[in-house]
Amino acid sequence: MKTIKSNVHYHVGNEPETDMYSEVLNGLRSEHKTISPKYFYDKKGSELFEAITMLAEYYPTRTELFILNKYRDEMASAIGTDTALVEFGSGSSEKVRTLLEAMPDLKEYVPIDISKDFLYQSARALSIEYPHLHVHAVSADYTEKFELPKLTSSRKAVFFPGSTIGNFEPHERVNFLKMTADFLKPNGGLLIGVDMKKDHAVLNAAYNDSKGITSQFNTNLLNRLNRELLADFNLEHFHHHAFYHAEKGRIEMHLVSLKNQTITIGSEHVTFAEGETIQTENSYKFTIEEFQDIARDCGFTPKKVWVDEKNWFSMHYLMV
């Protein structure tokens, strides 16, 4: 019998262990109501985010792709050879293709994502396009400890595009960067996309698009709670509100209650005063120096940074 050797391998790195119901209730019971932005991404939410990335006002995705395309050879040589490329939150593995084109000698690519089915499907597609590459798909929450398969390359580089780091709170950002620095020892590198501080009008427009897609993305969270946690939010009674908070250096997204109301979630009740908000996301923006200082404090040495000509988005290469 002929054996067909596959270049894609599947691994379970860790099992996600969050209890959405208690996490959401805790957030809604705190003095300033919050819900983690990670809950945006059900099927509909992921589709809406995909639509956001194509909006005229939402510059980050397009600008990052421009930088990746323009500087991929420099990035590839900074990363070096005999290195396994590990991607955190790989999704459809779309952006990494640009980098892979500049890394013909790369032997191992390790996409890591929490959404197992989508990960395995994307890894399979990529492994067919790049038959020389060993693709080790690892299903895991990369913000927690996870098991990595045995790799043959002598060092690792992490690819973390999309400015997802901007959605972490300062303490989460520090934990994540320190954990990643440990993971990369010895001698590894981190190529990370970071959105930059800029004209407030540009920032505000990016999160208040004229087609109202970001508003739908925000309110879809309530649909998810209705469906998955048996809540009874009326989407007409909440309003999308996003603005740049200059002092905090972040976009804040909120859902504003349009009236006094009591919401049932499963067997529990949460009351809202008119004008009270649920803070659903922060998206921090950084100057180059700010981000390099944070990275240094977490054990990295900044090696190189690439930006677009408007200085809107940055890609940093940091080493441990």
Extract the tokens encoding 53. Answer: 């990335």
Burial (CB < 10 A; 0-12, 13-18, 19+), residue 91, is buried
Which of 281, 292, 315, 317 binds ligand AVI (CB under 6 A)? It is 281
Q: Are 277 and 258 in contact (CB under 8 A)?
A: no
Kindly state whether residue 215 participates in binding ligand AVI, applying the rule CB under 6 A: no
β 301-307/313-319 pair status:
antiparallel
Distance in Å, CB of 8 to ligand AVI, minimum:
26
Kindly state whether residue 164 participates in binding ligand AVI, applying the rule CB under 6 A: yes
Kindly state whether residue 34 participates in binding ligand AVI, applying the rule CB under 6 A: no
Q: Are 279 and 31 in contact (CB under 8 A)?
A: no
CB atoms within 10 A of CB 286: 21
Distance in Å, CB of 232 to ligand AVI, minimum:
25
Specify which residues 316 forms β-bridges with. Answer: 192, 305
Judged by CB, which is closer to ligand AVI: 83, or 219?
Answer: 219
Specify which residues 4 forms β-bridges with. Answer: none
Kindly state whether residue 283 participates in binding ligand AVI, applying the rule CB under 6 A: yes
Which of 109, 207, 233, 238 binds ligand AVI (CB under 6 A)? It is 207
Distance in Å, CB of 52 to ligand AVI, minimum:
5
CB atoms within 10 A of CB 15: 10
Judged by CB, which is closer to ligand AVI: 113, or 281?
Answer: 281
Distance in Å, CB of 41 to ligand AVI, minimum:
9
Contact segment (CB under 6 A) with ligand AVI among 70-78, 139-147, 161-169, 291-299 equals 161-169
Kindly state whether residue 162 participates in binding ligand AVI, applying the rule CB under 6 A: yes
Sequential DSSP letters for 170-186: HHHHHHHHHHHHHHHTT
Q: What is d(CA 293, CA 282) in angstroms, rounded to the nearest whole number?
A: 20
Which of 24, 28, 52, 114 binds ligand AVI (CB under 6 A)? It is 52
Residue 277 has φ and ψ, to the nearest 5°, of: -125, 160
Q: Which residue is nearest to ligand AVI (CB)?
A: 283
Q: Which residues bind to ligand AVI, rule: CB under 6 A?
A: 52, 60, 162-164, 166-167, 207, 214, 217, 281, 283
